[in-house]
Amino acid sequence: MSEKAAGIPQAFILLAGCCLPILGAVLLAPVLPLMEQHFADDPHVSTLVPISLTIPALMIALFAPLSGTIADRFGRKRCLLICIGFYALCGILPLWLDSLGLIVLSRAGIGIAEAGIMTCCTALMGDYFHGRQRERIFALQMVATSLSAAIFIALGGVLAQHDWRVPFWVYSAGFIFLPLMAALLWDPAAQQTDSQPDIVTLAPMPWRPLLPLCLLSLFAGISLFIVPVQAGYLLNLLSVDDPAKIGMTMGANQLGVLVGAASFRLISHFRRSVVMMAAFALTATGSLLMASAAQHLLLTLAVTLSGIGMGIMLPSLITSIMALVNFDQRGRAAGMFNAMIFLGEFISPLLVLSITRGVTTVIPHALTIIAALQLLIAILVVIRVLPVRSPAVAFDS
């Protein structure tokens, strides 16, 4: 059977699919105060409302590896379509739920579905695209998710002006994606023979070269959440409360991510270890400048540098991981990458909190420690204590 060639429609639908889980992280942020007002009589409201925002990320960290195993064994497309349907269903349930506990449960369901969506979309991008095309698609994934985060935050704020439940309607977009993905996507495994078994025997994972990349992905997740969580506290320490300046700072970080992701393809011909070292060094420089910034302008420069480093780091990590695995390992590899990123995001504020003990004036000290760790990782990568293979010696199929 001749192999199908993926093109713009497949790239677009997979990139759009990768943006759906961003909804779980950012869409509800503007409505949290309204939810707290609505459920003011619930004795656990101060705990459950924030958990409703963060629990999808924890579920992704916990369930992404399992999603990868299921995708490798039963097929990416089948797993993806089931997860998209479950995502849409769990997403709109809060429109009719009057129990805060049940809303949190539905949000956990969204996280489980998002684990499958991110894993299957990432694996399919690795299946469909190779070489420079793969590097381009993973760089575009970073661009698309960064842009969608900004759009979804604004959309959540606009929709919440009518009622706190209205933003949940956006999750019904999953029902639109179902037929589009069913029509445009295919499982490459089904092309290999005309009598492809429903269940695939899984090959063992190449853990020796993958484990260093998993550790790097975990710390990338920690680094990724430094600016979104800590920049607000740093602005407060600088007595910056102008919404325009706060927005400019956060926007500068997203701009940096876009610049980094866009430049990844231009520098991807260098050795992978050099690219990774540069990414961690840029992020470390950004963290160190954040810790020492005495002016708003310097802090804005710091978060921009940090964003550029992250924009290079994430596509470099996923392309390195995908280059080390073959077809029937790719789902598990994508699941492990997503699990490490989201586990890092979950750990990030806890790590800073463990250093500061809740004292905001100690945050610069915590960021200095994190910058030192980022710089240490950059050095370990370049001297190959944490080995990162170059594309020339990596497995690519």
The predicted-structure confidence for 224-241, as pLDDT tens digits, reads as follows 888 877 887 888 888 887
Query: Between these two residues, 46 and 62, which has the higher pLDDT value?
Result: 62
Question: Of the candidates 164, 192, 220, which is a domain's last residue?
Answer: 192
Helix (H, G, I), strand (E, B) or coil at 132: helix
DSSP letters of 244-270?
HHHHHHHHHHHHHHHHHHHHHHHHTTS
253 shares its domain with 290? yes
Same domain for 171 and 220?
no
Q: Does 37 share its domain with 124?
A: yes
In a domain, 396, yes or no: no
Same domain (yes/no): 20, 71: yes
Please give the residue range of the domain that contains residue 103.
8-192
Q: List Cβ neighbours of 140 (8 Å cut-off, separation of 6 or more).
A: 11, 15, 261
Say which CATH number the domain at 376 has. 1.20.1250.20
Please check the confidence at residue 288 and state whether its pLDDT lies above 90.
Answer: yes
Q: Which of 145, 165, 192 corresponds to the end of one domain?
A: 192
Judge whether residue 91 has pLDDT over 90. yes
Q: 295 and 231, same structural domain?
A: yes
Same domain, 220 and 106: no
Q: Is 397 inside a domain boundary?
A: no
Q: What is the pLDDT of residues 27-39, one digit of tens each?
A: 776 777 788 888 8
Mean pLDDT, the chain, whole residue set: 84
Residue 201 lies in a domain: no
- Same domain? 220 vs 183: no
Does a structural domain hold residue 198?
Answer: no
Q: Is the pTM of this model over 0.85?
A: no
- 363 or 110, greater pLDDT: 110
Instruction: Say what the pLDDT of residue 207 is.
Output: 85
* 12/152 same-domain check: yes
Q: CB 230: neighbour CB atoms within 10 A? A: 24
Confidence check: pLDDT of 397 > 60: no
**135, 283: one domain:** no
**Residue 218 and residue 320 in one domain:** yes
Query: So what's the pLDDT on residue 379?
Result: 83
Q: What is the pLDDT of residues 249-273, one digit of tens each?
A: 877 888 888 889 888 878 877 888 8
- Which percentage of the chain shows pLDDT scores above 70? 89
Of 162, 192, 222, the domain-final residue: 192
Q: How confident is the model at residue 2 (pLDDT cuts 50, 70, 90)?
A: very low
Are 263 and 154 in the same domain? no
102 assigned to some structural domain: yes
pLDDT of residue 394: 42
Considering the domain architecture, whether residues 135 and 172 belong to the same structural domain is answered as yes
The number of domains in the chain is 2
* 372 touches 365 (CB < 8 A): no
Instruction: Please report the DSSP string for 295-326 in residue order.
Output: SHHHHHHHHHHHHHHHHHHHHHHHHHHHHT--
Residue 109 lies in a domain: yes
Q: 92 pLDDT band (50/70/90 cuts)? A: very high
Is residue 199 a part of any domain in this protein?
no
